C-alpha cells in the first residue's frame, strides 16, 4: 500500500499490520519523522522517480491530497500505471456539489485558495478516473473525529470573526457535514 501525502506516517502505522506500506511526502521534516518511526517514506512529490523506487502496489491512498496538486489528472494517471490489475485507489476530498458547499459559496470551509487548487464533485472525479481506465466502486461521505480547536477555528473563519489562534485540543468530536467525500476506484 502506498500513501501519497502521508505526513508523519500515522495512517501508515495503522495499516502496517495489514499491508507492506510505503509513503511519499513533500514536507521533508514530516518524511524524516516517518522514516525515524521505521516507515518506508520517500521525500518529494509523486513523480516517476519516486514511483519507480516503490514499485507496483495493490492500494494507493490520497487523503485530502488531490485538491492540492498542480496536475491531479497526471498524478492519478501515474497512480493507475503503478497499480496492479484489480488494485484500488482510495481518496478523500471536498465535495463541491454538496449542499453545504452550494449554500456557503465562497464562505465554504474548504474554499481556501491557494491551498486548495481544485474542487471536485463525485461526477467530475468519476469522469477523470474513467478516462484513465479506473472505475468507481464506492463513494460516501465519511464521519471524522475533528479536534474541537479546529471546529472553533473554522466557525470563526466562516462567520468572518477575528481569528485568534485556538489552543491545542485533545478533545475530538465526531463530525459529518456531508461535504467531504471518499471515493474508491478500481483498476480493471
Tell me, what's the pLDDT at 159?
83
Q: Per-residue confidence at 167, pLDDT binned at 50, 70, 90? A: low
Q: How confident is the model at residue 156 (pLDDT cuts 50, 70, 90)?
A: confident
Q: What is the dihedral of CA 79, 139, 146, 101, to 10 degrees?
A: 100
Chain mean pLDDT for the chain = 95
| Structural domains of the chain sorted by starting position, each given as residue range(s) with its CATH number in brackets | 56-97+116-143+178-187 (3.40.50.150)
* Dist. CA 144–CA 129, nearest whole Å: 25
Taking only Cα atoms into account, the Rg of the chain, rounded to an integer number of angstroms, comes to 17
pTM, two decimals, is 0.92
pLDDT band at 140 (very low <50, low <70, confident <90, very high): very high
Amino acid at each position: 500500500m502506498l500513501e501519497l501525502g502521508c505526513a508523519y506516517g500515522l495512517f501508515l502505522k495503522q495499516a502496517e499490520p495489514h499491508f507492506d506500506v510505503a509513503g511519499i511526502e513533500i514536507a521533508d521534516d514530516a518524511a524524516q519523522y516517518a522514516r525515524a518511526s521505521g516507515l518506508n517514506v520517500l521525500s518529494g512529490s509523486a513523480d516517476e522517480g519516486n514511483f519507480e523506487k516503490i514499485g507496483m502496489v495493490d492500494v494507493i491512498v490520497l487523503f485530502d491530497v488531490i485538491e492540492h496538486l498542480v496536475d491531479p489528472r497526471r498524478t492519478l494517471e501515474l497512480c493507475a500505471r503503478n497499480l496492479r490489475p484489480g488494485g484500488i485507489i482510495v481518496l478523500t476530498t471536498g465535495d463541491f456539489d454538496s449542499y453545504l458547499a452550494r449554500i456557503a459559496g465562497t464562505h465554504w470551509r474548504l474554499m481556501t485558495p491557494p491551498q486548495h487548487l481544485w474542487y471536485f464533485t463525485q461526477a467530475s472525479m468519476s469522469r477523470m478516473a474513467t478516462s484513465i481506465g479506473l472505475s468507481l466502486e464506492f463513494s460516501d461521505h465519511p464521519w471524522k473525529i475533528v479536534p474541537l480547536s479546529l471546529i472553533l477555528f473554522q466557525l470563526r473563519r466562516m462567520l468572518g470573526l477575528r481569528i485568534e489562534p485556538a489552543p491545542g485540543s485533545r478533545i475530538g468530536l465526531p463530525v459529518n457535514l456531508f461535504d467531504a467525500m471518499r471515493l474508491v476506484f478500481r483498476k480493471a
